[in-house]
Amino acid sequence: MKRRFLSITLGTLMLLSLLTACKNSGDDAPTDEPGTSVTELTFSESWDFSSGFYPVLTPENSTNTGPMSYASNFYETLVNYENGNFVPGLAESWEVSDDGTVYTFKLLEGVKFSDGEDFNAAALKKSMDVVPQNLGVYNGSYGVLSTLISEIVIVDDYTVELRITQPYYGVLKDLAVINPMGIVSPAMLEADGSPGEAFKTGTYGTGPYMYAGDGDGTTYAFVRNPYYSREQPDLDKFYVKVIPDNSAKLLALKSGEIDAIVNSDSLSYDGYFEMQSASGFEAALSPQESNTRFLVFNLNHTPFDDISVRAALARAIDKSAICDGLLSGLEDPADSLFPKSYPYCDIDVNVPTYDPDEAKTILENAGWTDTDDDGIREKDGVRLSGSMIYMTGSDTIVSDLALTIAAQAKEIGAELIPEGYDMMGLYGAMYGDFAVGLYHAYTLQYDPYTLMTNMNSELGADPFACQATAGIDEGNAIIKRLNSTPDETEVQDIYTQILNNITDNSIFIPISYIREIAVWNSDKIAEFSFAGYPTATNVARITTR
């Protein structure tokens, strides 16, 4: 009996190892017959499109914003963001008045919506006029501009004046984000301006593709916009399959059921490297950074109100080791809260270098010594200790990051206790008396503008962001000035001031810049380029074999 039992055990162990060895043998991507050109591709998304296709998506109609990553295929905006600059979109050119309250846009001619309607000043006005009402109570949560519009004036068929109640330096950026400024065909709106049933089952934009209308809740098909008259993209048709689980997405890519996975929400670094080394697949990092990981201190929570503590910790974190090791070289060490490629952020700050010895000296000189020999310093009876809150996820990478940072802090005699929360729990903890937060910025579509706006503590929108202005005299006033000045120089000065203040006072410790990732079936896809906002899957930028 015992022998039988042992043999069964051994057998199963061997089976298990065989199994795991099997998968390492490099999966071959399913190939097309040679000579045929690829006209269709399949992508995946975690949520379905049951909330419809209207570009303004608020918690009123759905909390699943995943489908927005495909919106750029159907809808366009007046301007587009590319590599730190705002370039023409549906607007050919524009001028800004001296006082910053009138933006005159010259619109592209010869463009039609997918329902055949012409795109012109009248259509633009109608499409944009209803945005504030469709945002409803969430007007202001998706960009400041929609709260500032006083009037949109039609000058002629292809010229429009956007008049706002006060100057705002982020007008172009707000106009570049499809939610809520994607232009829709006003003919498909209801009489009262709401999107109605039409947009639940159709896309009515100027983009190269449109919804074919026959989704079954699991797979959605999108075809060419018959009225699109500019340079045609390669694909005739593309599908989006709803796959909630990220492991399942990767399996589907391997089995050929989908052809690409874009976006770090859908793909882990482990999956990225797996597909990079598999034959028939390729992987890429976006050239643009799209987010920043950081540590943030609560300046009201002892002992992190002591600048020596913060300065010491800033010198105790070995960002290069973290980026090369834990993050597998896919992220770059961060010097400042925002990457230099972001608008207004091409600033040199005095980055503290990794120097644990200097960190220890700073603490010693400030009176933090380890009197009771437990490895953690104290001063006047206060331990150099605090909880570090972070969000747990299906990927354990953030937990590992928290543990690594805690270990590096321990080296200099500081104790950061990792406390992981699920998403809802973290929001609760953020508004409590947290000591240290391990979090990230808002992603490129909202950074740096929205994060800067939220530094105004009167809004009560983001307790992490508010720390940036704590300790600056009139910090909130400065932010309000930022959002209402027409003077570009002043905007840049405020950015320089705030970003320097953050670094000089070690309020945030930026750890790394995140880029978006994508993997795809290289037998079907010849070239893949990331969109201007790299979390989006822009099918037009994909060339097929």
Partner 1 sequence: MPSLPRKLVKRAAMLLIVLTGVSLLSFALSAISPIDAAEAFARRSLISVSPEQIDLLRVEMGLDKPIYIQYLKWLGGLLRGDFGVSLITRAPIADDIFARISLTLKLSGLSLLIVAVTSVSGAVICAARKNSPFDHAIRGITVFGLSVPNFWLGFVLLLIFAVKLPIFNVIESGSSLKALILPAVALAIPSGSSMTRIFRATILSEMNKDYVIYARARGLSAHRTLWMHILKNSFPSILTMLCQNFGYMISSCAVLEKIFSLKGLGGYLADAIIGRDLAAVNACVFIVALIFVAVNTLSDIVNARIAPRMAGGVPNV
Partner 2 sequence: MFRKTLKNPQAAAGLTLIAIFVFAALFAPSLAPNDPGEINAAAKYLPPDGTFPLGTDQLGRCVFSRLLYGARNSAAIAFPTLLIIGLCGTILGSAAAYAGGVLERVFIVICDIFMAFPSLVIAISLVGALGYGMANIAAAVFFSSWVWFAKVVRTWAAIEIGKDYVTAAKIAGCSGAAALFRHIIPNILPRCLVYLSTGVASIILMVSSFSYLGLGFSAGTPEWGAMLNEAQSNFYAHPELLMYPGVCILAAVMGFNLFGEALRDVVTPEGAGQ
Q: Which residues 14-43 are close enough to bind partner 1 by CB under 8 A?
A: 19, 22-23, 27
Q: Please identify, among the stretches 48-56, 169-177, 392-400, 464-472, the one whose residues bind partner 2 according to the rule CB under 8 A.
A: 392-400
Q: Rounded to whole angstroms, how far apart are CA atoms 221 and 240?
A: 7
CB of 296 closer than 8 Å to CB of 436: yes
Q: Which residues 242-261 are close enough to bind partner 2 by CB under 8 A?
A: 247
**DSSP, res 206:** S
What does the per-residue mask of binding to partner 1 show for 450-479, with x meaning CB under 8 A? x--xx----xxxx-----------------
- Is 348 near partner 2 (CB under 8 A)? no
Q: Please identify, among the stretches 143-151, 218-226, 263-271, 338-346, the one whose residues bind partner 2 according to the rule CB under 8 A.
A: 263-271
CB 203, min distance to partner 1, A: 19
Q: Among 84, 88, 140, 193, which residue interacts with partner 1 (rule: CB under 8 A)?
A: 140
Query: What's the chain's length in residues?
Result: 545
- Is 84 near partner 2 (CB under 8 A)? no
Q: Among 141, 159, 387, 543, which residue interacts with partner 1 (rule: CB under 8 A)?
A: 141
Rg of the chain in Å (alpha carbons): 26
- Is 269 near partner 1 (CB under 8 A)? no
CB 21, min distance to partner 2, A: 8
CB of 113 closer than 8 Å to CB of 127: no
Residue 307 binding result from partner 1, partner 2, none, given CB thresholds of 5 to 8 Å by partner type: none
Q: Among 170, 180, 418, 437, which residue interacts with partner 2 (rule: CB under 8 A)?
A: 418
Tokens of 282: 């390729």
CB 418, min distance to partner 2, A: 5
What does the per-residue mask of binding to partner 2 show for 306-325, with x meaning CB under 8 A? ------------x--xx--x
Q: Among 42, 288, 298, 404, which residue interacts with partner 2 (rule: CB under 8 A)?
A: 404
CB of 222 closer than 8 Å to CB of 53: no
* Half-sphere exposure at residue 128, Cβ-oriented, CA atoms within 13 angstroms: 30
Q: Which residues pair with 416 in a beta bridge?
A: 386
- Is 512 near partner 2 (CB under 8 A)? no
How many beta carbons lie within 10 A of that of residue 393, not counting itself? Answer: 15
What does the per-residue mask of binding to partner 1 show for 180-219, with x meaning CB under 8 A? ------------------------------------xxxx
Q: Which is nearer to partner 1, 25 or 353 (CB)?
A: 25
How many beta carbons lie within 10 A of that of residue 230, not counting itself? Answer: 11
Per residue, the 3-state secondary structure of 105-143, as one string, reads EEECCCCECCCCCECCHHHHHHHHHCHHHHHHHHCCCCC
Q: Which is nearer to partner 2, 265 or 364 (CB)?
A: 265
Dihedral class, residue 527 (left if φ above 0, else alpha if ψ from -120 to 50, else beta): beta
Q: How many helices (H) and strands (E) in the chain?
A: 16, 21
Q: Please identify, among the stretches 17-25, 91-99, 135-143, 172-180, the one whose residues bind partner 2 according to the rule CB under 8 A.
A: 17-25
- Is 154 near partner 2 (CB under 8 A)? no
Q: Which is nearer to partner 2, 149 or 403 (CB)?
A: 403
CB of 195 closer than 8 Å to CB of 203: no
- Checking 210-219 for CB contacts under 8 A at 24+ apart, the result is 210/74, 210/114, 211/53, 211/74, 212/237, 215/48, 215/49, 217/48, 217/50, 217/242, 218/48, 218/242, 219/42
Q: How far is CA 70 from CA 176, 313, 336, 376, 459, in A?
A: 15, 41, 31, 50, 31
Q: Which is nearer to partner 2, 50 or 396 (CB)?
A: 396
Number of residues that bind partner 1 (CB under 8 A): 56
DSSP assignment string, 385-435: EEEEEEE--SSTHHHHHHHHHHHHHHHTT-EEEEEEE-HHHHHHHHTS--S
- Is 416 near partner 2 (CB under 8 A)? no
Q: Among 84, 280, 420, 425, which residue interacts with partner 1 (rule: CB under 8 A)?
A: 425
| Secondary structure class of 82 (helix, strand, coil) | strand
CB 17, min distance to partner 2, A: 7
Helix pair 246-255, 269-277: axis angle to 10 deg: 10
Q: Could you tell me whether strands 281-297 and 525-528 are parallel, antiparallel, or unpaired per DSSP bridges? A: unpaired
What does the per-residue mask of binding to partner 2 show for 266-305, with x meaning CB under 8 A? --x-xx-xx-------------------------------
Question: Which residues lie near partner 2 (CB under 8 A)?
Answer: 1-2, 5, 13, 16-17, 20, 23-24, 247, 268, 270-271, 273-274, 318, 321-322, 325-326, 392-397, 399-400, 402-404, 407, 418-420, 422, 425
Question: Which residues lie near partner 1 (CB under 8 A)?
Answer: 1, 4-5, 8, 12, 19, 22-23, 27, 50-51, 58-65, 137-138, 140-142, 216-219, 241-245, 247-248, 251-252, 254-255, 257, 422-425, 427-428, 431, 442, 446, 450, 453-454, 459-462
